[in-house]
Structure 1
Amino acid sequence: MTAPDTTPEVTSEAAPPNDAPAAGWRESIAVYLQPRVLVVLFLGFASGLPLALSGSTLQIWMRESGVDLGTIGLLALVGTPYTLKFLWAPLVDALHVPLFTRAFGRRRGWLLFSQLLLILTILLLAMSDPATAPFATAFAALLVATASSTQDIVVDAFRVESLPESEQAAGMAGYVAAYRIGMLVSTAGALVVVSGYESYGLARPAAWMWGYVLMATLVVIGTVTALIATEPAQSAAADAATSADGAITRVLNAAWGAFSEFLSRRDALAALAFVVLFKFTDAFSGTMTGPFVIDLGFSKVDYAAIVKGVGLAATLIGGFAGGFVARRYSLATSLWIGGVLQAIANFSFSWLALSGVNQWALALAVTTENFTSAIGTVIFVAYLSALCQNPLHTATQYALLTALAAVGRTYLSSGAGYVAKAAGWPLFFAVCVLVAVPSLVLLAWLQRRGHFAALGPVKV
């Protein structure tokens, strides 16, 4: 059974100008209010929420607890499940969760199961103490990342299978924007909450614990969304079509088909390397941004207020700008724009490091980083969707690609703390610009080989 033909076209030609009257704008806005699009939007929030809880927010907690920079840098390794999630994506595609699948369906059952695990693991992380047992805290964070990456697998499949072609573009844009908002809530929002608890007299360890407990309760937004949502018809049909096959057969078919089909393409390995490296400049700097701001002398409240206000606005505007770039220019040109912008944005943090405790410099750095990162993310998602050409294994292939994209954040960035410690903050962020060079070299090579032109108008 094939997956639905729902992904928006990704073409190598500029989109024609929009000459529609005002009614066309009303119709464009109305599509974002369709029930299926709203469901995907709220699931995007649920997917974005946990990432920082085992990443940048946890790094600030550990830094305030006295953990050294080298150990904090190594904490990036707890993101390993985001890198390896393609290994169990076929299980999510092929197997049922006892009780959950029978009661809610194939995709919704996995959604609810992964969200229950997510709530429990975040609560476990909340009960840990990085000051006295940093490695126990890291293990709890690893469990959070595992539950979160499993949820990502299901949400990606649900998005592809539930939205008709007319709503797929709006669903993708809403998902990316809500994902970024979820990340901002678990960074800036969590810091505001923790600082608020401290101002009411709670000791710092207790304030962090209750801050994480509150973040765990926000996962319920995704749970309610999954309960309200309707099981995708294509998912139910695919489940029925393979019901006669054994569990092992279903898993092997999903796994082997996804890998063999992709690796048979021309320049497949170079394309996979590009997927790993494109967001590496963001990941390398992002690993240390929280500790950098704290070391510079800003309070959690200062940082959170700017990230939540200016940063959120920059993220949303950047997302729409990324969509405009992807529609207006070819895929290769769009990737050039996104790749260069997100690299040079690191210079704003070098300037901040030289400026000291300067609210305006912090606002500019956060605005620049959020704006350019959002542009790069939307364009990158369009590219990943273009690579998933075979509807038989869309979910597993997408999990493979996004897992590879997490390699930069998880492994390549794990030494960022040592680089920052050795080089100092101004030079460190200049190094973050340089680490973008390999991805741009690969981009030029793939463009010359006709990789992007060969993708053509792609529908998944």
Structure 2
Amino acid sequence: MTDAGVAAPPAVRPGLGRQALYLLLGFSAGLPFYMFSTILSLRLQAHGVGLVVIGFFAWVQLLPTFKFLWAPLLDRYDVPGFSRFWGKRRGWIMLSQLGIFASMATMGLTASDDSLPITALFAVLLAFWTTTLEVAADAWRIELAPNAEEQGPIAAANLWGYRTAMVAAGSGALLIADQPGWGWTAAYLGIAAAAFAAFPLLVALPREPGRDGRRSIALVAGLVVSLIILLAAVAVTAAIGWLLLGAASGLGIGAKSNVTPYVLAACMLPFLIMAAALPKIRTLPPTSRARRSAAIGPYVDFFWRYGTMALALLAFVSIYRMGDVLALNLSKPMIKQLGYSLTEIGRADSYVALIASIAGVGLGGWMAARWPQARALPIGAAFAALGNFGFVWLAHQPVSEGLLYVATAADQFGNGMAGTVFVVYLSLLVNPRYPGAQYAFLSGFAFLLPRLLSGAGGSIVERFDQAGYRGFDIFFLLSGVLSLAALLFLPVIARARPRPSDEAAP
């Protein structure tokens, strides 16, 4: 009930209302992403940080891969204060937006990179809060649109917002940073302010049906609780980082280390663990503690439903987005090395990337809604691979801003198309009883292998360079070929069908 005693209006109107909401949420999540990935790589390069260390910073992007560790908390618990009026999903989104603003602003105030551990700390926090926003938004999206016909338009709107924001952040940050007297501090503070613009819009939305709090009281209480949570997150992240750095030092891993063998071993470990656990999981009764657990039950449920086919599904999703993830961290340093200025890169990442991305996302959303997945998935993978091959082509051309536009457009169009098809595919794999946790697990695992390899990308390029080859050429050729390798799994995963439910409790 509202304060006037009448029924509360729905928080989100069907149709265009939902699409507008997810355009906004995609924009909120997309703005910070480039700031702890591509833009951070260029910033570190400008401050003389070596390519291998820049590659290590790509492991900040691994954090979204492990979002399954805290995703069940978002399904189970409310954010005190905010959720009293705005509901569980919006409460987590609002907390995440505050975390994004605080982390990015601090990165701006420490933009000299005099202390790389401080840079890493707040890059990790920015990645954490960005990921938390995505987990809450994805869970809400799956609840609002449980079938492919409804998912296609909402997923497209979400990715339109996301990629528009990535373009705005990427081009805007570079154009600001390249202005005399402004630099990286102004770039990060400017994007932080833009990312926060969605917060008051969410505050203004109607009360969540079934909630009985007052807007003003919920807002004040939520802000106080959020401050406590944000400070605790800084302390915990700093402690974990200190332990990890100590462990790496103890293993002798440093800026000159060849980390590729460690990375490949880490990539194999999750598959080995899951393969060993599958026979036991398949025999678990509905009353078993593992299936009823709030912490691991959603993930056990996925393997219980799909059995050995779960391994093929996870292998497929691990490879499908390989090309664009590997390109993300090193494409801009490579382009800068070719002789392009930050302003030229920023212009390419503005209207050229935006138009190409919108076209790719739109076509991908249409394909996902109208075509069988077995047809849409391979087309998306092929166009994504072409984007990687475009960087190799660019490296062998004379420096020309027009040619940079061509390579950028090919990359953004292919990634937009593949990304939209992929989001819908993952959404249809989840059990609607565990939308947040299972989508977090699948989308996180999908990027585990690519992001692990991306962190070793600088080392791989340098090794090829030392062997007398063009390291960037080999790197981008391999990443494109790996994306196409996902097509080999299509005949297998096309037969994937979930096991009928036995009514196990959530």
User: Do the two structures share a fold, i.e. TM-score over 0.5?
Assistant: yes
Distance in 2, matches of 1:128 and 1:252, equals: 45
Distance in 2, matches of 1:426 and 1:324, equals: 39
Partner of 2:89: 107
What's the secondary structure of 1:255's corresponding residue? Answer: coil
Instruction: Report 1:74-113 matches (<5 A).
Output: 74-113=56-95
Name the amino acid aligned to 2:76. Answer: A
Could you tell me which of 275, 279, 300 is aligned with 1:260? 300
Could you tell me which of 376, 401, 420 is aligned with 2:418? 376
| 1:153, distance to aligned residue in structure 2 (A) | 0.8
Partner of 1:28: none
Change (3 A) 1:326 1:305: same
What's the secondary structure of 1:301's corresponding residue? Answer: helix
Could you tell me which of 459, 465, 472 is aligned with 1:418? 459
Distance in 1, matches of 2:137 and 2:207, equals: 12
What's the secondary structure of 1:383's corresponding residue? Answer: helix
Partner of 1:434: 478
Distance in 2, matches of 1:231 and 1:59, equals: 41
Change (3 A) 1:164 1:398: closer
Partner of 1:177: 160
Partner of 2:286: none
Distance in 1, matches of 2:210 and 2:19, equals: 17
Instruction: Report 1:221-240 matches (<5 A).
Output: 221-230=197-206, 233=209
Change (3 A) 1:355 1:336: same
Are the equivalent residues in 2 in contact too, given 1:257–1:393 (CA < 8 A)? no
Are the equivalent residues in 2 in contact too, given 1:126–1:209 (CA < 8 A)? yes
- Of the structure 1 ranges 160-169 and 115-124, higher mean CA displacement relative to structure 2 is found in 160-169
Partner of 1:17: none
1:288 and 2:342 correspond = no
Instruction: Report 1:59-74 matches (<5 A).
Output: 59-74=41-56
What's the secondary structure of 2:80's corresponding residue? Answer: coil
1:45 and 2:27 correspond = yes
Partner of 2:320: 278
| 1:352, distance to aligned residue in structure 2 (A) | 1.3
Could you tell me which of 131, 154, 157 is aligned with 2:139? 157
Name the amino acid aligned to 2:405. Answer: A
Partner of 1:220: 196
Deviation readout 1:139-191 (Å, 9 max, x if unpaired): 21011111111111111122233458775432221111110011111111111
Are the equivalent residues in 2 in contact too, given 1:66–1:131 (CA < 8 A)? no
Distance in 2, matches of 1:43 and 1:324, equals: 20
What's the secondary structure of 1:118's corresponding residue? Answer: helix
Distance in 2, matches of 1:119 and 1:156, equals: 20
- Of the structure 1 ranges 258-267 and 87-96, higher mean CA displacement relative to structure 2 is found in 258-267
Partner of 2:216: none
Name the amino acid aligned to 1:150. Answer: T
Partner of 1:146: 128
Distance in 1, matches of 2:91 and 2:14, equals: 25
Name the amino acid aligned to 2:100. Answer: L
Change (3 A) 1:312 1:357: same
Deviation readout 1:288-326 (Å, 9 max, x if unpaired): 011111111111111111110111110011112222333
| 1:404, distance to aligned residue in structure 2 (A) | 1.1
Name the amino acid aligned to 1:209. Answer: T
Are the equivalent residues in 2 in contact too, given 1:111–1:151 (CA < 8 A)? yes
- Of the structure 1 ranges 39-48 and 405-414, higher mean CA displacement relative to structure 2 is found in 405-414
Are the equivalent residues in 2 in contact too, given 1:37–1:163 (CA < 8 A)? no
Distance in 2, matches of 1:189 and 1:70, equals: 26
Partner of 2:115: 133
Name the amino acid aligned to 2:377. Answer: L
Deviation readout 1:3-54 (Å, 9 max, x if unpaired): xxxxxxxxxxxxxxxxxxxxxxxxxxxx998333212210110011111111
Distance in 1, matches of 2:353 and 2:493, equals: 38
Distance in 1, matches of 2:102 and 2:447, equals: 24
What's the secondary structure of 2:133's corresponding residue? Answer: helix
Change (3 A) 1:331 1:134: same
Distance in 2, matches of 1:150 and 1:53, equals: 16
Name the amino acid aligned to 2:329. Answer: T
Name the amino acid aligned to 1:347. Answer: F
Are the equivalent residues in 2 in contact too, given 1:93–1:396 (CA < 8 A)? yes
RMSD between superposed Cα atoms in Å: 2.8
Distance in 2, matches of 1:387 and 1:154, equals: 18
Change (3 A) 1:131 1:449: closer
| Structure 2 unaligned residues grouped into runs of 5+ | 1-12, 213-288, 500-506
Distance in 2, matches of 1:173 and 1:450, equals: 23
Partner of 1:190: 173
Distance in 1, matches of 2:144 and 2:204, equals: 13
Distance in 1, matches of 2:480 and 2:312, equals: 16
Partner of 1:363: 405
Are the equivalent residues in 2 in contact too, given 1:339–1:436 (CA < 8 A)? no
Name the amino acid aligned to 2:302. Answer: F
What's the secondary structure of 2:48's corresponding residue? Answer: coil
Deviation readout 1:238-267 (Å, 9 max, x if unpaired): xxxxxxxxxxx9x97443331122112141
| TM-score of the two chains, using structure 1 as the length reference | 0.81
Deviation readout 1:41-72 (Å, 9 max, x if unpaired): 10110011111111000111111111111110
Distance in 1, matches of 2:320 and 2:210, equals: 32
| TM-score of the two chains, using structure 2 as the length reference | 0.74
| 1:438, distance to aligned residue in structure 2 (A) | 5.0
Are the equivalent residues in 2 in contact too, given 1:76–1:410 (CA < 8 A)? yes
Change (3 A) 1:448 1:99: closer
| 1:232, distance to aligned residue in structure 2 (A) | 5.6
What's the secondary structure of 2:434's corresponding residue? Answer: helix
Distance in 2, matches of 1:339 and 1:171, equals: 21
Partner of 1:239: none
Are the equivalent residues in 1 in contact too, given 2:89–2:136 (CA < 8 A)? yes
Are the equivalent residues in 1 in contact too, given 2:326–2:451 (CA < 8 A)? no
Distance in 1, matches of 2:164 and 2:438, equals: 26
Name the amino acid aligned to 1:49. Answer: L
| Structure 1 unaligned residues grouped into runs of 5+ | 1-30, 237-248
Are the equivalent residues in 1 in contact too, given 2:55–2:458 (CA < 8 A)? yes
Q: How many residues align?
A: 405
Partner of 1:444: 488
Name the amino acid aligned to 1:418. Answer: S
1:338 and 2:380 correspond = yes
Change (3 A) 1:392 1:184: same
- Of the structure 1 ranges 182-191 and 350-359, higher mean CA displacement relative to structure 2 is found in 350-359
Change (3 A) 1:409 1:180: farther
Partner of 1:25: none
Name the amino acid aligned to 2:379. Answer: I
Distance in 2, matches of 1:254 and 1:226, equals: 29
Are the equivalent residues in 1 in contact too, given 2:368–2:421 (CA < 8 A)? yes
